[in-house]
Structure formats: C-alpha cells, structure tokens
Structure 1
Amino acid sequence: MIGKPERMFPIRDHNPSGRVPHVTRFLIVANVLIFLAYWYGLPDEASLTRFIYTYGLIPAALTQGGEWAGLVTSMFLHGGWAHLLGNMLFLHVFGDNLEDSFGHFGFLAFYLASGIGAGMAQVVADPVSLIPMVGASGAIAGVMGGYLLLFPRARVDVLIIIVIFFRIFTIPAFIVLAFWFGLQLISGVSTPTDAGGVAYWAHAGGFIAGIALALLPWLRRGGPAFWQRSHGVPAHPAVQTRIPLVRRAPRR
C-alpha cells in the first residue's frame, strides 16, 4: 500500500486537470469493481487464496515458469479495503494532471508500463520468491515519479498522522514525493525481501520507471526551460482551498 508506512496521505492538489480525466476515473472504478467481485464474490478464504496465487505476481513463477501475465493482472488486485482505498487516493490526487499532459491513451500506456516496471523491480529483488504481489502501488508510484518530473512545485495538501495527532499541511510536490521515495529505499534496504508485507522495491522501481517514461516528454517540452516557463506547476489556475484547522479535543 502506498501510504501506510509513513502515515502521510496527500488529499488533494491545487491544480485540477484542464479536462475530464476519463482514464484515471476508469482505473479507479475498475480497481474497485474488480476488488468487490472477488472479495465478496468468492465463497471462502481458500478460494480467495487460490485466486490471489493465480492472478498475483509470483516472482518464481515468472523466472522459472515464464508466467508473465501476473505483471499486468496483479496491478488490479488488492489485499483489503485499506490497501485499495489508499492506492486509489494517490491515483486520484496525482493522476489527472499527468493524464492531461500525456493524453488519455498515452496516460494509460504510461500507467501500465510503470506497473510492469514496478513488478520487474520486485522480481529482480527476489527472483525465487513464492509470495504473490498484488496492488496498483507500483503503477501509481510511476504516476508519482512522472508528476515529480513535470510538476515539482505543484502544491499538495497532505494529511500527516502521528499517533493520535493529525494535521493538514500544504507542501510542494517535490518534497512530498522525494520524501516518499526515500522511505521506500530505506525500507527496501532494511526489510528482508522474503518477509512479505509491503513490496518496497516495486514501489521504488515503479517510481524510477515513471521518471524514465516521463523523461522524453519533459525534454520535448524543453527540459529545465519547461520548468522556467511553467514554474513547475500544471498549466491550470490554482484553486484556492481552505485547509481546515484541526484542534485538539479539550480534556474531560
């Protein structure tokens, strides 16, 4: 899941897309419907486990059995409601402006390629693992990487939770995304690849894949000159949002 380890959740950016993000919305709806279909449609836990092992990405099945389909099917599966909703929140926040820049079909290709790159990173990190990997996190990490390259100074409202305290801050995208990427690298190095849980190397691999895939469009726009023209933000007027003040409850 994208947001769980750091308890940091972007809830909106200040530059809505200039057109309706049909593909972003389609991906969100598709992920939710697929999740509902197997989470509540399968008769028992054993059937659910078989389903995950059939359509999730198992590195050993790819490296030893040539089963490549899991690279795609795994990015439409999730391990629970928190996993699903966290990923869809990140996709909602960062997907629309990238779709506006790449076009609908271009963004869809970018998203799928990022997800495949993320899956391959996890396979390289642990090629004999029998643990299935599921989730859109890697593809969404690619969206975040592309967003970082194209719109590093976009303003993002972030909910930060520390134990029982929470607060919303407005932070430039490059701080949010660079901090998130650094956490994935640190967690990936410090967590055994066979431990299960969060696929940190898939997150890091997807993020790098997203930057690599967005590099040519960025260069075509002028590279650093594009940042100077755009000031590092999407080409849409910023929407003024009021950040709610979170007050501590009085003691009783």
Structure 2
Amino acid sequence: MTMPAATRSFLRPLALALAALGACAAGATPYSIDPSGTIVTDQATALQWARCTFGQAWDGSGCTGKTAAPNWYNALQAAQTANAAHYLGYSDWRLPNVSEMESLMEMDSANPNIDLTAFPGTEGALYWTSTTDEYSFSFAWYASFHDGHVLRTDKTGLGYVRLVRGGQPMAAFDALAAPGPGPGPVRPAAPTAVPALGYAGWLLLSALVAGGGALRRRLLRPDPRTCRARSR
C-alpha cells in the first residue's frame, strides 16, 4: 500500500531528527568537507554546499576574493552560470530554498550565525533563497546571517549567494513551502512559494518561520558542543 503524501511529509522530519540524534550519539561531526576543501556536506540533510560565498574561492586555508551581491534574479542566474562553468566539478548547482538555507544557521554563533570552520568568510548579511513570496511575487525570502532571521524582501534588493546541490528537497520542513512557478526573467527549476493568507496571516507566519527555525535546526542537526558533552 502506498503511503499518503501527507503521512510522508509528517514522518520525514521525524526520521531526520532521529538520524541527527543518532549521529550525535555516535560522535559524528555535523559537516564533512571534501578533499579539495571546496564542498561541505551536511550530515543531517545530505545537502552539499559550496564552502565559499559565490564570488570567492578556496585557497587552501580560507575563502578569498570579492563576494558577489546580486539581486534575486541575478542570484538565480548565478547558479546557471556556475553550472555552465562546471563549478567545483559539478553542473547541478542551484539556489537553496528557504528551509535549506535556514538549516545552516547556528544560533549559538553571532554575526555571522553559521559554523565558520565549515563556511569561512561568510558575510553577516542577507543570503538569497529561491523561495518566492506568493503574497507578492516581487518579494522573495532570504536568510540573514547577521541576526539569524528569515524574512522576505524585494527581489530587486541585493544579497549574497551560497549554492547547494544534491540531497533531498526540504519543503517538508517548511510549513510555508509549496511548489509553483516563479515570476521574473529566470525561474528556478523547483522554487517554493508562500501561500497568500493576507497581510495579518503573513505577519504571523513570518514570526513562526523566524521563531521556529531554532527548533528545526536543533532537530535537524544537534549542537556539536552537546554531542561532545554527551561523550564525556
């Protein structure tokens, strides 16, 4: 018998949460870095991330060079440009959706809210996601690594880009996500959108995204310091 989609959506977060706790019990680190030092794999989500912000390059000890800060449309184009150039040896990079980007946030760190060992040189600023706000197609969701918030802004604004590949889409972890086409000259292959629930509904859901993010992050990837404490 086929499992209903709603059941799969409910069970998947639970399964990954248990896997993350198991990884903690086994003493696993939250990230692994490939031999070239350029790609970071999140052990909880199986997503592979470009270690450096787009525009920078890994020089063996850190991310160097000038970071690019395009608008949302050009951020999507950056992924296509990277794929055409076989960026870091792959041609299936994309702009992450809001849940994927939020999963990188470390609330125990501050400005930037991220593991700087895994992602050195990260800007404490806005990073674009592919998620369009369905209430206003001219807005998209972003993650701020300055203060750990996930909010929306006009697509003509400027933000940084971190590309992702592989893994499984994390729409199941984002109660606001739903597949749908995005407007603009460049459309992501599988964007997500926020349902149109009216301004008051958006305010409430926005608060839930920002406030509930810490819980999702704890479930998806245990704090490495907690893992170390348990191993003592």
Q: Which of structures 1 and 2 has the bigger CA Rg? A: 1
TM-score, normalising length from structure 1? 0.25
Higher relative contact order (CA 8 A, sep 6+): 1
TM-score, normalising length from structure 2? 0.26
Say which structure is richer in helix.
1
